[in-house]
Chain A
Amino acid sequence: MRVLAIDTSNLVLSVAVVEEARVLGEMMTNLQKNHSVRLMDSISGLMDELNLLPDELAGIAVAQGPGSYTGVRIGVATAKSMAWALGIPVVGVSSLQAVAMNAAGFSGGIVPMFDARRGQVYTGGYRTQEDGSVALALPERIVLLREWLDALSEEWGDSPMMFLGDDVAMHRDLIAQRMGRRAVFAPAAFNHPRAAHIGWLGIRRLAEAGSPHDMVPEYLQVAEAEAKWLAKQNG
């Protein structure tokens, strides 16, 4: 069984084709732009290299967010449309979990994060599982980084925590200052999401996939205009 995996939810573009027990191929670029232009050519190029045709795919796994709204939509729209056209299942995988997978095996807390502007981050807390994956321990959220670091101290106490993601660099000083020696900063390559992880996580959940029509992004927050409108209704 072969599954195509896609991540365009943040700055990195990554695509992979995986089987249950191995990665057939993976492509990752950190050009930080033009996901719309490059995604389909990247998929096409990788599948040509692997000598695979689309109808040889058994499913698709996609980074569902959080992340750049537009980036998430490009990935999700592409994945659900391809799955629908091929009559195969599509599953969404958290973009944060994809990054957290780079730290699978780490015995402390695993903290992937993406910057969400105005001092906020998209983040969550993960822990290594016996099967070699990582599972959510502290729910994903959009939160002020300061508040998040306080919450981590409360939840995880003196345990070491590995901070992951391209955007950790811009918050490194604050994290180091607040968390002290508990903070572990990952090697550079661990910061980038890899579609191979998304494929590996997704392939094990293909059976539970719903209709491709129901696949929607996970933004973690409503659109600003909608938030304002809702506040006005309740205020």
Chain B
Amino acid sequence: MKRQNEPRYIERVREHYRRRREAGKPVFILGVETSCDETSAAVIQDGTLVLANVIASQAEVHKRFGGVVPEVASRRHVENITLTIEEALDKAGKTLEEIDAIAVTYGPGLVGALLVGVAAAKAISFARGIPLIGVHHIAGHIYANRLVTEMRFPLVALVVSGGHTELVLMKEHGSYEILGETRDDAAGEAYDKVARALGLPYPGGPHIDRLAHEGEANVPLPRAWLEPDSYDFSFSGLKSAVLNTLHNASQRGETIEPANLAASFQASVVEVLVEKTIRAAKAHEARQVLLAGGVAANRGLRAALTERCEQEGLALVIPPLSLCTDNAAMIAAAGYIDYLKGNFAGLDLNGIAGLPLSDRTMD
């Protein structure tokens, strides 16, 4: 039987939106992020000002397993979710009454983990008639930059973390074009694997970065440029080359200075990331280059990208570390663009592990 009227939820959301837009007050977005191992909630004002950004990290829990265990992460999320959201509202000095919309990550990520945040956001949205916005996790990483400085288009964003390595072109707000992405491991994944081979603890990125600064990049390792015109990445060959180098050395009874190997590995990763980013920025006449994602904390990458952007006269933005790793402020910042467009999700929003980053521009 077909329903005669719209669901009252939709009427309530529409009324909420209309009333608050007419009031012309600042816009407060509640962000929720649970795509991997951080339970995070944030409140931001007008898409740019962070009032609160609470991150309940599970890093300590997963350390003992040598990597994120999805089932363990999902269990923690469900334990922490409402507490984290409440803490964010308290820190921001806001109540749900004052929230204009709830923006939640719905992919990509660990599906069981995503589902907790999505279920919570939908439940709160339904309970209070607050508009719901589904945010792509990579869009969130890119919008972390808007919490630092205004975005200028066209821009090229390099998003690197344990889960992703993407080069994205944005011609305007809410519009994303993937220029290149990894064909195998994410950059952060390669770091973790190489770190394990070197006997370094998880997560390996910071340890390799530190070691690399103590060593010399004198071990010959390949650079995966792929096809001349490609902006894609590949790190599995490099990772294998590192493992082979270690293996061969031990077969010959030689030792390789771990610091030198770390420095050589990092030099290879950084060179490819930086040069492809610069080439993309020049080809698309980018007015801004953005670096985002957890690997943006890497000092070697920051230094090299900064230097090359200066050489080429490109404006580079790198958010502070707290906004580079997974957090809900960046999700709320990305959601704000959808809020202005009235681009809301329904109660059937789902968590999607392999969600593509499509062009979300709406008329």
Contacts and interface: CB of A to CB of B under 8 A. Distances in A.
A54 B164 CA distance: 39
B178 interface: no
Contacts of B346: 41
A125 interface: no
B131 interface: no
B126 interface: yes
A40 B3 contact: no
Contact of B86 (A53, A69, A213, A225): A213
A86 B9 CA distance: 15
State the majority secondary structure of interface residues on A.
helix
Contacts of A225: 65, 69, 71-72
Given A73-B77, A217-B78, 16 more contacts: A36-B118, A39-B119, A40-B123, A44-B7, A70-B112, A77-B120, A78-B122, A78-B123, A81-B127, A82-B124, A85-B123, A86-B127, A213-B83, A217-B75, A225-B71, A229-B64
Interface of B: 3, 7-9, 64-65, 69, 71-72, 74-75, 77-79, 81-83, 85-86, 96, 111-112, 115-116, 118-124, 126-128, 346-351
Interface residues of A, number: 38
A84 interface: yes
Contacts of B77: 73, 77
Among all A-B residue pairs, the 7 with the closest Cβ atoms: A40-B347, A81-B123, A85-B127, A81-B120, A77-B119, A82-B123, A225-B69
A37 interface: yes
A171 interface: no
Contacts of B65: 225, 229
11 contacts: A38-B348, A41-B7, A43-B126, A48-B8, A54-B128, A73-B112, A74-B119, A76-B78, A77-B81, A85-B127, A225-B71
A70 B114 CA distance: 11
Interface of A: 34, 36-41, 43-45, 47-48, 53-54, 69-70, 73-74, 76-82, 84-86, 212-213, 216-217, 219, 223-226, 229
B127 A82 contact: yes
A37 B351 CA distance: 9
- Of A40, A217, A224, most B-chain CB atoms within 10 Å: A40
A216 B3 CA distance: 35
Contacts of A48: 3, 7-9
Given A44-B9, A70-B112, A74-B119, A216 B78 contact: yes
Contact of B351 (A36, A79, A224): A36
Contact of B116 (A53, A73, A213): A73
A54 B127 contact: yes
Nearest to B81: A77
B347 A41 contact: yes
Contacts of A79: 123
Contact of B74 (A38, A39, A54, A69): A69
A182 B116 CA distance: 42
A40 B104 CA distance: 15
Contacts of A44: 7-9, 126, 347
Given A78-B119, A84-B86, A229-B64, A40 B126 contact: yes
Given A37-B348, A73-B112, A217-B78, A54 B126 contact: yes
A80 B116 contact: no
Contacts of A78: 119-120, 122-123
Given A41-B347, A81-B82, A69 B127 contact: no
B71 A80 contact: no
